[in-house]
Amino acid sequence: MAPEASAPPAAPGPGDAPRPGRRAPWGGVAAAAAVLVLGGAVLQQHEVAEGRGRRRAVLERADLAARAIEDDLSRSLAAAHALAALVRHADVDRFEQIADELLSHYGGISSLQLAPGGVLTRIHPLAGNEAALGLDLLADPEHRDSAERTLESRQLTAEGPFELRQGGQGVVGRIAVFRAAPGGGEAFWGFVAVAVRLQDVVSRTRVAALSAGGLDWALRRDGAARPFASSGGALPRDAVAVKVRLPGEAWELDVAPREGWVRWGGLVMPAALLLLVAAASGLLAHRLLRLPEELRRAVDERTAALALANRRLAAELVERQRAEEARQAAEAQARHGQKMEAVGLLAGGIAHDFNNLLTGILGYAELLGEAGTAADEAAAGIRQAARRGAALTRQLLGFARRGKYQQVPVNVHALVREVSALLERTLDKRIAIRHRLAAGSAVVRGDPDQLQQVVLNLAVNARDAMPSGGTLTFEVAEVELDAEGTRARPGLAPGPHVAVMVADTGVGIPAVVRDRVFDPFFTTKPAGQGTGMGLAMVYGIVQNHGGWVGFESEEGKGARFTVLLPEAPAPERDEAVPAGAPEHGAGRVLVADDERGVRETTARLLRRLGYDALPAASMEEALEVQGRGALDLALVDLAMPAGDGPETLRALRRAQPELPAVLMTGYGLDARVREALEGGFRGILHKPFSLEELAAEVARAVRRRGA
């Protein structure tokens, strides 16, 4: 017989019952839950019965320990009765002898005490208990209430525990002693007391054994929250508690198992077996339609993994964006630094070349002054123009951070007052000047001319920001910068600093240009009213002095510039150089410079001062001059094409090791100049130099040779 073809299963309609596979997981869970509930009930009943038995056992041990404490203290404190009898009927002078007998008989006693009139006067043994002598029990706030209760009850009363004056915690049993009065009746004599150290009681009784038996315990006064002695472990709220009754005092001993009332370790095996049976039951119910459930779980896991990947991708994009922003900021800062360095190099080079030209002009003007009265006036004009040109090159070198840089103490208070006095004569009457100067010395080390230029530039900028008038404020303060303060101000080291603040109430600095305030040749002033070099020079000079400059501004509310410079000790005395005519001298002086104008004018000025000046255009010519006769001094230019200044000096000193030399340079005090000065030059002449400066430096170098 051929088998019958079976029809394909019909798709379930909306009214069809749920498929068995959807009920199977819940059936497995229900079976496992039923097994867990039944098994858990059995385990719970078993553990309740076990817990009751454990509480009874712990309570019995706690009661035995409490009774042991009572017996130990009662036995020790009973010595107070014997001591009271001694006071009533025997000679108190035999106190030490009787006390020795009582200590050997009763045991567990720390000391025996007599307090006639309530004042402790005798203690046995005395060694280690000296601190308690002189204690007035009826006056001391800590012991007065207990002593008065003892006096009223005329019974043995216990006090404690409390901190003993001789050290440690103790319990004292005290009896008030009354003796027959001469006129009849009784009179209060004082107290006798027995002191027992609490630690000794704990170690002698069963309390110490509780810890060894796996129990935590705590002793506290009845009704007190905090214990005065314990095993160290924290006790649960359901710890067993037993009373410890003492004469006139009651304690409570709390005890609980260290591992808790429920012994979870004993439930591990039954619980594991119960879980195994429950799992097997649930697994059996779930087994038929396990595959659909696993597929659903796999889909969920993949969905979760995709969500996690999306979150990680988003976080990575945010991190990349932050890194890109940080990179752009670093590049912008680097570009700004490179721009400032490039302009600085350009300014320094221009200033060097101008200084060479100005040296010749100034020298010829000095020589022209010898020709007569009319020539004197012309020479004075030339000298004045040359010095103004030199001032301009100093400003360029100041921006380039390579200008003339003296290292002398500068009083910032005096510097600010000078600038303020200069401005008062030229300021608009609608601008008021205010000063806030610190009480300290406010001294820094640096170039006074450059630092004055810094304050003057800031003040002029503040003036120009107030066309309708306002207030110009100069403030000087001494501040102490810590590591946190220097972190926000690059280039500064922690320590004392002098702060110079110049503030105005003018138009303020627009937000869009604040990042360019210190850029060279940038200005917001109209054409012809500013070069854009003022704040750039401020920045360069302050950096050259190891300082920091910054500002705060809000449009319409003015600006406040702050300069921070390292503070220096105040000078012990002012060093003043008396003015006078140029100093003359004698000797063979080499003038080595590749610039003809500088070389010739310097040589002629030296001859005017009495020296035998010998010009040379290169290192080779300098050695030829030296070969014709020993030199007394060498003036050598820093930068010469065929052998620079240091190289020329080394060559000259092969024949004359002690030859003094002065460096001539149109550059500022940069690394090359410092290296040259450290390499043997005894002085420096910054171009352009005047006749007076030349005479003073040459005379100084010659004197050093003779010293």
Residue 123 sits in a domain of what CATH number?
3.30.450.20
| CA neighbor of 382 nearest in space, from 363, 355, 403 | 363
96 plus 178 within the same structural domain: yes
**pLDDT the model gives residue 627:** 94
Q: Which residues pair with 154 in a beta bridge?
A: none
411 plus 558 within the same structural domain: yes
465 plus 517 within the same structural domain: yes
Strand-strand pairing, 408-411 and 249-257 = unpaired
Where helices occur in 568-686 by DSSP H, the ranges are 596-608, 619-627, 645-652, 671-678
536 plus 622 within the same structural domain: no
- Supply the pTM of this predicted model: 0.38
Task: Give the residue from 157, 186, 202 where a domain finishes.
Answer: 202
| CA neighbor of 604 nearest in space, from 384, 357, 362, 377 | 362
**What whole-number distance in Å separates Cα of residue 432 and Cα of residue 196?**
83
216 in a structural domain: no
392 in a structural domain: no
Contact 403, 448 (CB under 8 A): no
Contact 174, 192 (CB under 8 A): yes
CATH of the domain at 656: 3.40.50.2300
Query: What mean pLDDT value characterizes the chain?
Result: 79
**pLDDT the model gives residue 17:** 46
610 in a structural domain: yes
**pLDDT the model gives residue 208:** 72
Q: What is the pLDDT of residues 198-228, one digit of tens each?
A: 787 777 777 777 877 788 888 888 878 888 7
595 plus 545 within the same structural domain: no
Backbone angles phi, psi at 171, to 5 degrees: -120, 135
Average pLDDT over residues 697-701: 89
552 plus 482 within the same structural domain: yes
* For the chain, percent of residues with pLDDT exceeding 70: 77
397 in a structural domain: no
Q: Residue 171, SS3?
A: strand
478 plus 555 within the same structural domain: yes
Domain count across the chain: 3
Average pLDDT over residues 130-148: 85
653 in a structural domain: yes
Q: What is the pLDDT of residues 373-420, one digit of tens each?
A: 555 655 665 665 566 566 556 656 655 544 545 678 989 988 898 888
412 plus 544 within the same structural domain: yes
Task: Give the CA distances from residue 54 to residues 92, 262, 281, 678, in Å, rounded to whole numbers and listed in that order.
Answer: 54, 9, 35, 90
| CA neighbor of 262 nearest in space, from 52, 100, 119 | 52
The identity of residue 391, as a single letter, is: A
135 in a structural domain: yes
**pLDDT the model gives residue 620:** 94
Contact 495, 566 (CB under 8 A): yes
358 in a structural domain: no
**What whole-number distance in Å separates Cα of residue 242 and Cα of residue 59?**
8
Q: Which residue has the higher pLDDT, 198 or 627?
A: 627
C-alpha of 544 from chain center: 28
Q: Which residue has the higher pLDDT, 357 or 285?
A: 285
User: Up-side HSE of residue 431: CA atoms within 13 Å toward CB?
Assistant: 24
pLDDT range class, residue 632, cuts 50, 70, 90: very high
Residue 245 in this model has a pLDDT that exceeds 80: yes
**What whole-number distance in Å separates Cα of residue 611 and Cα of residue 313?**
82
**pLDDT the model gives residue 602:** 92
The identity of residue 271, as a single letter, is: A
Residue 274 in this model has a pLDDT that exceeds 70: no
Task: Give the residue from 161, 183, 202 where a domain finishes.
Answer: 202
529 plus 471 within the same structural domain: yes
Lowest mean pLDDT among 14-28, 233-247, 561-575: 14-28
519 plus 558 within the same structural domain: yes
- Count of H-run helices and E-run strands, the chain: 18, 21
| CA neighbor of 445 nearest in space, from 562, 259, 570 | 570
3 in a structural domain: no
180 plus 86 within the same structural domain: yes
654 plus 593 within the same structural domain: yes
Domain limits for position 90: 78-202
Average pLDDT over residues 313-327: 80
Q: Residue 246, SS3?
A: strand
CATH of the domain at 437: 3.30.565.10
Task: Give the residue from 187, 202, 217 where a domain finishes.
Answer: 202
Q: What is the DSSP string of 462-477?
A: HHHT-TT-EEEEEEEE
**pLDDT the model gives residue 3:** 44
**pLDDT the model gives residue 544:** 83
| CA neighbor of 72 nearest in space, from 164, 241, 206, 192 | 206
